[in-house]
Every structure is written in C-alpha cells, then in structure tokens.
C-alpha cells in the first residue's frame, strides 16, 4: 500500500505525516501547511495495532484508529515544545479562550453550546473536545485541532487562555475560584498522558505551570443560559 | 521491594507530588500529594531496598526515633501498595 503524505501545522508545530488512509487527510484539511516541516511522523501498522489495543471499542475502523494514532504521536513529539492536549471544550470569545473541562458525560459540550446560543457567531468553537495548549513565556495559548469531538466543532485559530473552568452538575449555579493545588488533580485528569517517562516529566512540568498561571474555577451548574452567563461574567472579569 | 518504574516525584512551591508513567502509569493514573518525609521515602523506593534500610535512612536524615521512622514508613508503604505502585 503506497503511503499518503501531507504537511500540517498544529499549535505552531509543522509536521509532515506519512500514512495509509485518506480519512486523516480529509480530517486535517484545514490545517495543511506549506512550511518546512520541523518533524516527520510515519504511521505504521504497528501504531494501528497499538491503538486498537488502547481503544474503548474493538470495532473502530482502521482509518479512524490511524487518526487517533496520529494525534497520540503528535502529542508525544509536541511536549518538548511546550504543547499538550487538554481534554475540554474551548470557546473563543472576544479574542480569549474559555476552557470547560469535566469527566465525559457531564455536559461540557452542552454548556459550550449554550454560549453559542447566547453570543451567536461571536462565540467560536476552537475545539469541542481535544484542543492543544502551548505554554509560552508571555502567554498560554489554546489552539484548534481537527480532533474535535462527536459534533466536529473546531477551527484553525488560537487565543490566549482566559480561564479554565471545571464543571459539575448541580441544582443551582455556583462558581468559585480554585487555587492551583486544589485544581491540579482535575487538571491532570484531563491532560493526555504519555507512557514514556521522559515525556510525562515534560507534561507534568507544563501542567503545573498552567495550574499556576491560569485562573481556575469550579462551576456547579444546571443546564441553562444563566449558568453560561455566570461563567462568562466571572471568568472574563477574573473576579468572584 | 521498590516502586514500579515510572513514578515521578517532584516539589512544586513546597508541596510534593507524585505522578506515574511507564509501568507505574499502567497501575495508577492519579496524582499523589505527599509531605516531605513521604517524598523522601518514595525517592528511596525508586531503587530496590528493604524496610530496615529505609528506617536507617529516615533516622539519619530526620533524626527521628526508630519507632517513629517505622510508623512513617509503614503508612507510606501501605498507601503505595493500595494504589498498586509497589512492586
């Protein structure tokens, strides 16, 4: 089987990919680049086999597994560049990224949808599932990527992170600031974890930096526009 | 006895944390928060050791009694065992 080839740019990292299935090319179309690649990745049959072992369903088709393997391998080469995958729903509003994280099924995509219902086209989905974060000396930025959840909501943009909010379901809407020590377990739980120890050390270092530099919040909420307004008002002002 | 390979222990602003990758990561994917003594014990468990050796090291480092050292070590060992990180 002849390999397909493409050059893509994610979180300011340009990478050329050699792979087998057209699905990946289609998925990553909006991220094509003409830059000189910094890295080269080849997705092998072995990568696919490993991905199949890790997958939560045995029935994923090979082209989807190849796509998962691609993101995994990208994240592992991106960590030394200060980039990690943060499982969350990332909304871009007024030039800032608002990130909502929660265990699967809590309703972070639903909450993000309410932001779009309130602010219309002004609220853009950077990524509804697996955005990338890049820790820079001057700012921490969130980036769109094509691994974007079941509704495929994402765009090829970037913005400084205004805040990270951990969601839980509640009977009323309450938001509180968390200090970095309180938030670390939840933050780490939503960050992609590599198997390789040296890469995990880099990811851990980036995680603690994100925890200390970004305002962190806990929102207990109903599924309502009031909850979305409360989150925006509190997080955008950065005050309680 | 020793910890499974891949336990990363680090200090962040005076708090000690443990995270796991590699073999250890297959057993545990949470975050461990530790005091200084527990972190010292965990560091010494990165290499194969015995409870007696750990007690001696803790006595020397923190000038504590054997009973106190033993009690600290038992607690830390039990916790690491409970989360599957002890080999």
Of A199 and A105, which is predicted with more confidence?
A199
Query: What's the half-sphere exposure (Cβ side, CA atoms, 13 Å) at B1?
Result: 16
> A152 in the Ramachandran plot: left (φ > 0), alpha (ψ -120 to 50) or beta?
left
Reported as type and span, the H/E element at residue B19 is strand B15-20
Question: Could you tell me which chain A residue has the CA closest to the CA of B23?
Answer: A195
Q: Which of A240, A125, A108, A229 is nearest to A166 (CA)?
A: A108
pLDDT tens digits, one per residue of A116-139 = 999 999 999 999 999 999 999 999
Residues A28/A146, Cβ–Cβ less than 8 Å: yes
A109 — phi, psi (to 5°)? Answer: -70, -35
Tell me how far apart the alpha carbons of residues A235 and A214 are, in angstroms, rounded to a whole number: 11
pLDDT at A234: 96
The helix/strand/coil state of A160 is: strand
Tell me how far apart the alpha carbons of residues B26 and B81 are, in angstroms, rounded to a whole number: 14
Give the start-end residues of each E strand in chain A: 4-10, 13-19, 39-42, 83-85, 89-93, 96-101, 124-127, 132-135, 140-143, 158-169, 174-178, 216-221
Give the mutation candidate from B5, B10, B19 for the A interface (greatest A CB count, under 10 A): B19
Task: With both helix axes pointing from N to C terminus, report the angle between B66-82 and B36-44 in degrees, rounded to the nearest 10.
Answer: 70
Could you give the angle at the alpha carbon of A205 between the alpha carbons of B84 and A80, nearest 5°? 110
Query: Residue A218: beta bridge partners?
Result: A166, A176
- Chain B contact present for A178, CB below 8 A: no
Query: Residue A5: beta bridge partners?
Result: A18
Mean pLDDT of chain B: 95
pLDDT at A240: 44
pLDDT tens digits, one per residue of A42-88 = 999 999 999 999 888 889 999 999 999 999 999 999 999 999 999 99
pLDDT tens digits, one per residue of A134-149 = 999 999 999 999 999 9
Among the partner-chain residues A181, A189, A197, the one whose CB lies closest to the CB of B6 is A197
Tell me how far apart the alpha carbons of residues A197 and B20 are, in angstroms, rounded to a whole number: 8
pLDDT at A57: 85
ipTM score of complex? 0.93
Residue % of chain A over a pLDDT of 70: 98
Place of tokens 């909450």: A111
> A134 in the Ramachandran plot: left (φ > 0), alpha (ψ -120 to 50) or beta?
beta
pLDDT at A238: 53
Among the partner-chain residues A195, A200, A212, the one whose CB lies closest to the CB of B19 is A200
The average pLDDT across A173-198 equals 96
- Other Cβ atoms less than 10 A from the Cβ of A139: the count is 11
The average pLDDT across A172-199 equals 96
Q: In chain A, what residues touch B13 (CB-CB under 8 Å)? A: 212
A184/B21 Cβ within 8 A: no
Tell me how far apart the alpha carbons of residues A153 and A109 are, in angstroms, rounded to a whole number: 10
pLDDT tens digits, one per residue of A213-229 = 999 999 999 999 999 99
Among the partner-chain residues B8, B13, B33, the one whose CB lies closest to the CB of A201 is B8
pLDDT tens digits, one per residue of B40-78 = 999 999 999 999 999 999 999 999 999 999 999 999 999
Residues B17/B10, Cβ–Cβ less than 8 Å: yes
pLDDT at A58: 83
Residues A164/A96, Cβ–Cβ less than 8 Å: no
């Amino acid at each position: 089987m002849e390999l397909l080839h493409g050059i893509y740019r994610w979180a300011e990292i340009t990478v050329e990919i050699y792979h087998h299935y057209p699905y990946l090319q289609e998925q990553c179309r909006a991220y094509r680049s003409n830059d000189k690649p910094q890295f080269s990745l080849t997705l092998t049959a072995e990568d696919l086999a490993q991905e199949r072992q890790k997958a939560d369903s045995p029935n994923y088709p090979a082209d989807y597994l190849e796509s998962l393997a691609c993101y995994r391998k990208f994240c592992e080469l991106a960590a030394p560049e200060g980039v990690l995958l943060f499982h969350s729903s990332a909304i871009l509003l007024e030039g800032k990224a608002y990130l909502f994280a929660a265990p699967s099924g809590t309703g972070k995509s639903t909450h993000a949808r309410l932001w779009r219902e309130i602010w219309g086209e002004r609220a853009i989905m950077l990524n509804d599932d697996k955005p990338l974060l890049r820790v820079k000396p001057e700012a921490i930025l969130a980036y769109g990527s094509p691994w974007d959840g079941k509704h495929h909501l994402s765009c090829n943009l970037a913005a400084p992170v205004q805040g990270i909010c951990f969601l839980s379901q509640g009977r009323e809407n309450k938001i509180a600031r968390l200090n970095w020590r309180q938030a670390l377990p939840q933050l780490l739980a939503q960050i992609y974890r590599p198997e390789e120890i040296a890469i995990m050390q880099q990811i851990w270092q980036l995680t603690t930096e994100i925890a200390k530099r970004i305002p962190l919040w806990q929102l207990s909420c109903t599924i309502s526009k009031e909850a979305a307004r409360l989150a925006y008002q509190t997080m955008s002002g950065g005050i309680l | 006895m020793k910890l499974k390979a891949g336990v990363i222990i680090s200090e962040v602003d005076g708090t000690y944390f443990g995270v796991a990758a590699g073999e250890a990561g297959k057993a545990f994917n949470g975050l461990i928060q530790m005091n200084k003594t527990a972190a010292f014990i965990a560091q010494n468990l990165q290499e194969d050791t015995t409870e007696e050796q750990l007690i001696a090291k803790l006595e020397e480092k923190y000038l504590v009694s054997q009973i106190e050292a033993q009690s600290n070590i038992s607690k830390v060992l039990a916790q690491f065992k409970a989360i599957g990180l002890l080999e």
